[in-house]
């Protein structure tokens, strides 16, 4: 080969490499694959979605209807409602669970045996609910893979006790969190001194739902635990909101704060931290990061102290904390109106999905379709927005949970009152809203 031909070949590879390095990355374009509503003539809402081990997904919420898509109940009280979909997004089965009073599901997990565990709250004492201690109890249902009840347990006292989150522990048991009405319990939620109002409540259960221990944490006002995660050392982290400034809370920033409580495997308090400003800041969801730290998301109406860049009336607020509870960084997302987050979930590229709602049409929000819209925000592992998507009609549309499934698509669930715009059908009052997003 001549030196001239060799030189031309080398130069061609050189310039090709330079061109590739200078190319601008193709912009990501999230597209709606489908929007579906499920419900009847009354009120429905979806609160949690998970991918299932068979490649499909399951959606938990609640229903008040007894017609249209709801075929297995006769009364018009609220019941848990579970919908199971296959890999082709077809509904395989749906089942309701509850009694004659109010039963509302909050969170679903798939269990190690391939079944499911559902957590929420119940004020029933009949039907599927075997016991009730008074007003609302935390109600846990263990199902097999087909949605049949294996067992169910209620946890509570005569007051208003609410269940919001559940994880399965390494021993096959469960850890459940929610709110204990301490005044209603007479202090019986554990062996500590009586507080007042509602407190964070954590219950460690065995594989059959039998209580191993229970602990509550809080102060004299309102403390609501809304999510939990296993810590790196085998204990647990509970997150939510608190407006107390006494007993277990040592540094309230003003109004409601993000309140984070870390306990060991036996329920003993390791540390507690408050994050926020002088107004209302409420944490809703927590997830781990690849570096052993944690991301916590919720919403904030503050513009001072820990909040450095308020965008409007209320923002999605995201904080990253260390395993010792130190604030690493914080970010606000939104526009000039009310924007809130209800869930954070990891994606396979190391980023995260934030799901909630928006009333803005400026700032980080490109468009508003009417009142509250579903708002999905994709961030990278540094908390920078990669893309965002607004979904809805002219009425109120809200997202409570989102998950990336194996093929990279995203399932978002929530509720809708709309009957126009992106939402082609409303079956009555509020429906379950399920949206699939493809990212191209």
69 Cβ neighbours under 8 A, 6+ residues apart: 38, 39, 40, 94, 427
Per-residue pLDDT at 14 exceeds 90? no
Residue 16 falls within a domain, yes or no? no
- Residues 158-195 pLDDT 10s: 999 999 999 999 999 999 999 998 877 777 777 456 66
Q: What is the spatial distance between Cα 290 and Cα 346, in angstroms, rounded to a whole number?
A: 10
Cβ atoms of 45 and 61 within 8 Å: the answer is: yes
Show the tokens assigned to 238: 């509970």
Per-residue pLDDT at 5 exceeds 90? no
What is the model's pLDDT at position 134? 86
Which of these, 84, 83, 49, lies nearest to 63 by C-alpha position? 83
Cβ atoms of 65 and 41 within 8 Å: the answer is: yes
Residue 285 falls within a domain, yes or no? yes
- Percent of the chain, pLDDT > 70? 92
Show the tokens assigned to 303: 């513009």
Show the tokens assigned to 25: 């990355």
User: Phi/psi zone of residue 61: left (φ > 0), alpha (ψ -120 to 50 degrees), beta?
Assistant: beta
Show the tokens assigned to 323: 């395993």
Per-residue pLDDT at 28 exceeds 80? no
15 Cβ neighbours under 8 A, 6+ residues apart: none
What is the model's pLDDT at position 27? 67
Local confidence band at 144 (pLDDT 50, 70, 90 cut-offs)? very high
Local confidence band at 4 (pLDDT 50, 70, 90 cut-offs)? very low
Q: Mean pLDDT, the chain, as a whole number?
A: 92
* CATH number assigned to the domain comprising residue 148: 2.130.10.10
Which of these, 158, 156, 211, lies nearest to 189 by C-alpha position? 156
For residues 129-135, average pLDDT: 93
For residues 406-412, average pLDDT: 96
Compute how many other C-beta atoms are within 10 angstroms of the C-beta atom of residue 176. 26
What is the model's pLDDT at position 68? 96
Local confidence band at 21 (pLDDT 50, 70, 90 cut-offs)? very low
Q: What is the spatial distance between Cα 323 and Cα 289, in angstroms, rounded to a whole number?
A: 11
Q: What kind and span of H or E run contains 154?
A: strand 149-155
Q: What is the spatial distance between Cα 81 and Cα 12, in angstroms, rounded to a whole number?
A: 62
In the three-class reduction of DSSP (H, G, I as helix; E, B as strand; rest coil), residue 92 is classed as: strand
What is the model's pLDDT at position 186? 73
In the three-class reduction of DSSP (H, G, I as helix; E, B as strand; rest coil), residue 16 is classed as: helix
pTM here is 0.93
Show the tokens assigned to 166: 């559940």
Report the number of distinct structural domains present in the chain: 1
What is the model's pLDDT at position 183? 76
Compute how many other C-beta atoms are within 10 angstroms of the C-beta atom of residue 94. 19
What is the model's pLDDT at position 194? 62
Which of these, 148, 152, 166, lies nearest to 204 by C-alpha position? 166
For residues 256-274, average pLDDT: 97
Q: What is the spatial distance between Cα 133 and Cα 155, in angstroms, rounded to a whole number?
A: 8
Q: What is the spatial distance between Cα 396 and Cα 415, in angstroms, rounded to a whole number?
A: 8
Composition of the chain by helix, strand, coil, percent to 5: 5, 50, 45
Compute how many other C-beta atoms are within 10 angstroms of the C-beta atom of residue 106. 25
In the three-class reduction of DSSP (H, G, I as helix; E, B as strand; rest coil), residue 39 is classed as: coil
Residue where the block lists tokens 């065995």:
206
Compute how many other C-beta atoms are within 10 angstroms of the C-beta atom of residue 18. 10
Residue where the block lists tokens 């994880």:
167
Q: Output Rg (C-alpha) for the chain, integer angstroms.
A: 23
What is the model's pLDDT at position 192? 54
- Residues 51-102 pLDDT 10s: 999 999 999 999 999 999 999 999 999 999 999 999 999 999 999 999 999 9
In the three-class reduction of DSSP (H, G, I as helix; E, B as strand; rest coil), residue 102 is classed as: coil
Which of these, 132, 151, 133, lies nearest to 141 by C-alpha position? 151
Residue 304 falls within a domain, yes or no? yes
Cβ atoms of 354 and 318 within 8 Å: the answer is: yes
Residue 38 falls within a domain, yes or no? no
Burial 210-248, CB ≥16 within 10 A → b, else e: eeeebbbbbbbbbbbbbbbbbbeeebbbbbbbbbbbebb
What is the model's pLDDT at position 19? 40
Residue 34 falls within a domain, yes or no? no
Q: What kind and span of H or E run contains 19?
A: helix 3-22
For residues 430-434, average pLDDT: 98
* Phi, psi for residue 86 in degrees, rounded to 5: -90, -175
Q: What is the spatial distance between Cα 400 and Cα 344, in angstroms, rounded to a whole number?
A: 10
- Residues 294-348 pLDDT 10s: 999 999 999 999 999 999 999 999 999 999 999 999 999 999 999 999 999 999 9
* Phi, psi for residue 106 in degrees, rounded to 5: -120, -35
Residue 293 falls within a domain, yes or no? yes
Residue 173 falls within a domain, yes or no? yes
Residue 242 falls within a domain, yes or no? yes
Host domain of residue 385: 45-439
């Amino acid at each position: 080969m001549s030196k001239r031909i060799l030189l031309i070949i080398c130069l061609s590879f050189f310039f090709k490499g330079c061109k590739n390095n200078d190319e601008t990355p193709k912009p990501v374009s999230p597209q709606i694959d489908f929007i579906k509503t499920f419900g009847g003539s009354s009120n429905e809402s979806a609160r949690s979605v998970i991918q299932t081990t068979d490649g499909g997904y399951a959606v938990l919420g609640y229903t008040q209807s007894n017609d249209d898509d709801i075929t297995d109940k006769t009364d018009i009280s609220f019941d848990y409602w579970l919908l199971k979909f296959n890999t082709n997004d077809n509904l395989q089965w749906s089942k309701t669970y509850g009694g004659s009073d109010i039963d509302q599901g909050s969170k679903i997990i798939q269990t190690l045996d391939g079944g499911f565990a559902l957590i929420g709250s119940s004020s029933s004492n009949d039907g599927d609910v075997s016991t009730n201690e008074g007003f609302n109890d935390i109600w846990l249902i263990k199902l097999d893979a087909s949605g049949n009840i294996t067992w169910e347990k209620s946890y509570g006292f005569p007051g208003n006790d609410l269940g919001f989150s559940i994880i399965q522990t390494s021993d096959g048991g469960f850890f459940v969190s929610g709110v204990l009405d301490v005044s209603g319990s007479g202090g019986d939620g554990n062996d500590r001194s009586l507080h007042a109002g509602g407190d964070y409540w954590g219950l460690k259960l065995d594989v059959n739902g039998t209580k191993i221990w229970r602990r509550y944490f809080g102060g004299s006002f309102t403390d609501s635990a809304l999510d939990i995660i296993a810590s790196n050392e085998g204990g647990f982290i509970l997150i939510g909101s608190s407006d107390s400034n006494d007993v277990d809370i040592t540094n309230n920033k003003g109004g409601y704060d993000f309140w984070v409580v870390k306990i060991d495997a036996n329920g003993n308090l390791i540390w507690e931290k408050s994050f926020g400003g002088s107004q209302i800041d409420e944490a809703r969801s927590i997830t781990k990061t690849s570096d052993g730290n944690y991301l916590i998301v919720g919403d904030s109406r503050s513009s001072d102290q820990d909040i450095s860049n308020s965008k409007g009336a209320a923002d999605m607020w995201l904080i990253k904390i260390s395993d010792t509870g130190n604030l690493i960084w914080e970010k606000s997302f939104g526009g000039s109106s009310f924007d809130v987050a209800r869930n954070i979930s990891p994606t396979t590229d190391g980023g995260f999905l934030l799901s909630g709602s928006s009333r803005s049409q400026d700032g980080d929000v490109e468009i508003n379709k009417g009142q509250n819209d579903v708002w999905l925000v994709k961030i990278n592992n540094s908390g920078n927005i990669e893309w965002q998507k607004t979904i809805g009609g002219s009425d109120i549309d809200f997202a409570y949970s989102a998950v990336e499934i194996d093929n990279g698509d995203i399932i978002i669930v929530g509720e809708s009152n709309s009957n126009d715009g992106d939402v082609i059908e409303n079956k009555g009052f509020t429906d379950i809203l399920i949206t699939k997003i493809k990212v191209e």
